[in-house]
Amino acid sequence: MSVASPCIDVCQFDRRRDMCTGCFRTTDEIRLWRKMTDHRRREILSDRPRREAKLLERVAKRGQRS
């Protein structure tokens, strides 16, 4: 069974990280998803919590400066 896309139809990009804030994939990962092996897709999905935490940390720091 193929690994499903994590897309949640909230395509907004954090330009600094070149990452979608909906699915936490880079532009290249989104573009190449259909061509990736399931192994590579699982690697990307397993990295999602780290990516999400980094983005939330950045947003929190930005909020402290305001």
Residue 26 lies in a domain: yes
Residue 24 lies in a domain: yes
pTM confidence score: 0.82
What is the model's pLDDT at position 58? 82
Q: Residue 14: how many CB atoms within 10 A of its CB?
A: 15
Residue 23 lies in a domain: yes
**Full domain range(s) for residue 19:** 13-65
pLDDT in tens, the chain (66 residues): 799 999 999 999 988 889 999 999 999 999 999 999 999 999 999 999 999 999 888 878 877 775
How many domains is the chain partitioned into structurally? Answer: 1
Among candidates 42, 54, 36, which has minimal Cα distance to 6? 42
Counting every residue written for the chain, the total comes to 66
What is the model's pLDDT at position 66? 59
Residue 5 lies in a domain: no
Residue 7 lies in a domain: no
Residue 37 lies in a domain: yes
Residue 43 lies in a domain: yes
